[in-house]
Structure 1
Amino acid sequence: MSSSPVSDPSAPPAPPARLEAHVIRNAAGASAEVLNYGGIVVSLRVPDRAGVFADVVLGFAEAERYLGAHPSFGEIVGRIAGRLTAGRLRLPDGSTHQLVLNDGPNHLHGGGAGFGRRFWEVRRVEADSITLHYHSPNGENGYPGALDVELTYTLRADNALVVQTSATSDRVTPLSMAQHSYFNLAGEGSGDALDHQVQIFAEHHIPAADAAMTLSGHLTPVGGTGNDLRQPRRLREVVPQLFGGHGEHYFIRATAAAADAPTRVARVYEEKSGRVLEVSTNECGLQFYTGAKLDGSLIGKSGCAYGPHAGICFEAQGYPDGAHRPELGDILVHPGTPQKRTTIYAFSVA
């Protein structure tokens, strides 16, 4: 049982011989570039209604830039995606573990040196897919148990990027990863995404309790709230109605199993390009983030500054406090039973 504060290891781990970038492609001409650092999706090029390809995720032109500070562009975040209040992790056996605090009073995205700030081993590269592996030792950032994670990106022939994870642990421990790309369907250098039309197919959300994004734990119907995105709404109309203009955690289901087929949870349409993004997952929840904290200080791949809402995130994940509140989304990994999750980002045109 641990109760003392844990300091955040701010320095990234020593790099391997080189930072590696791998490009996967499908027969239709779509491509994705992936780093062996953070499992980061550096670029994702898909066609518009005229067949013109553009990169639809925010990021940097130089791979080395990802070794520095940035707002989780394209990362696999974990062990726990999202904020855990006061970094206090409570497990069903009654034990309490203090995680690193790297977001004011809270633990965010696994800590300042979470999965998105670690080097992964490249296990397999094929024309249309790449598989990475990361070993997280017991006690890393305060988490109990040694954990092995396998991550596979596959670019299907229908222009869907499939994200599959499989994880095993030597003891009961929480795991709730998320793919943290910022999407702009008009192209990453095209300005803000405020005219994107967004739908999220969820009946309930779990709002934050205060400006520090303290977890409320209250399952709340979306009806009659600004978080109701069951029908398409332009982002510019939605943002003023959201808490801090940020976005919320949407509840999809209480349990997720490897056998569960991904179900559609979100749809985005950008009128000028005609691009459509549909998000499907077998995860328990979806964190929608509007990119509200982008402030123009970061220069993207096209040489343009990323201002507020330059990209939007659809982070399929469990509820951050799911180890203690399984009714809001069970996130525990049990020895002998791999945790398997699938999220699909499917692109088409209208």
Structure 2
Amino acid sequence: MLRVSRTVVALLLTVPFAVSGCAGDGRPAARTSRTVIATATPTPEPLTPEVAERQFRTFIIDEDVARAAGDERLALSWVTDGQSPLTAAEYRKAAFEGDPVRRYDYGEPKLLVPKLVDYPHWFVAQVPRTVKGDAESTRETYLAFVRRSPADTWKLSLSTTLAPKARAPKVTVDADGYATPLATTDASVLIQPRALPGIQATLAAEGPDSVAAKVMKAGRYTTGYYSQTRKDRKKAKENGLELEAVFVATSFPFFPLRTDNGSGLVLYALTRNSVMKSKDKDKGKPPISPDVAHLLDGTVEGAEIHTTDIFQFGAYDPVKVNGDGRDGKVQGKADVIAEAGALARATTPAPK
């Protein structure tokens, strides 16, 4: 892989010196030496559109090498945050089912590069992505890359795909090729970027009657999760099981950018933590469903199966409209327009 930072060179300098005075027995003190290790500090590299272009091209080459070889360890060296457990789970599922790991072809990217001085550095690539061998699978994809310090390498933090009927908002890019980032507490948009995950999680938990429905649209990735959870609970109950599921905001980074009309495009992640258990612990253990089997060893040690899904989203956050609406401007709602994710973890805790 091409390295962004310069190679760190360790210089070993041996500096002899004499200890004055005498040893305890009156003999001259022995002549000694001290080894001093001087370490070069990595030189910070400014984040530019050219750097982003180079890192994107490097990533798609490295990613394909790992996927072609089915090398999970190599693949994990190019990713971080939510992409790490998702990548590990993807490779594990492919091995469990005896299938090759999916490989991708990428189109020409639109690079959304904020002008940042302090670390972490990050940028987003908006790019058409196609599963190799499936020409009908092309989807507009957002890839968010992060570099946390000059000594770190660039890694993929988040990957999400535009919903089939959604339109990608146009992100502001200036004459020099830089996009405009939003502050996490930006109040010019309807929902502060840092609050978006919590608003979506609330809708997923409470459904269309939630107060959160006043600021975020109902849909597959909001109230749809609420409806699906109710159906899953009903099905579990019919089979003598109990299901608990909750959506939770994560500590993973999110990536907010300004659009041309003053609104925002925000990329972020949520987890869904679920517990499936027998209603009567004395009557057996919950069965291992096919979608969980690749993450377990075939047995359930206790009476519960705990799972974690990681979802990665893109949301359109409209510019806030001031006034009472008499000027004809009506406040829109935030809309989740991109989603990707999968089951990432599964455990069967032993009884306490």
User: What's the TM-score, normalizing by structure 1?
Assistant: 0.28
Structure with higher Rg: it is: 2
Normalized per residue, the structure richer in helix is 2
TM-score norm. by structure 2 comes to: 0.27
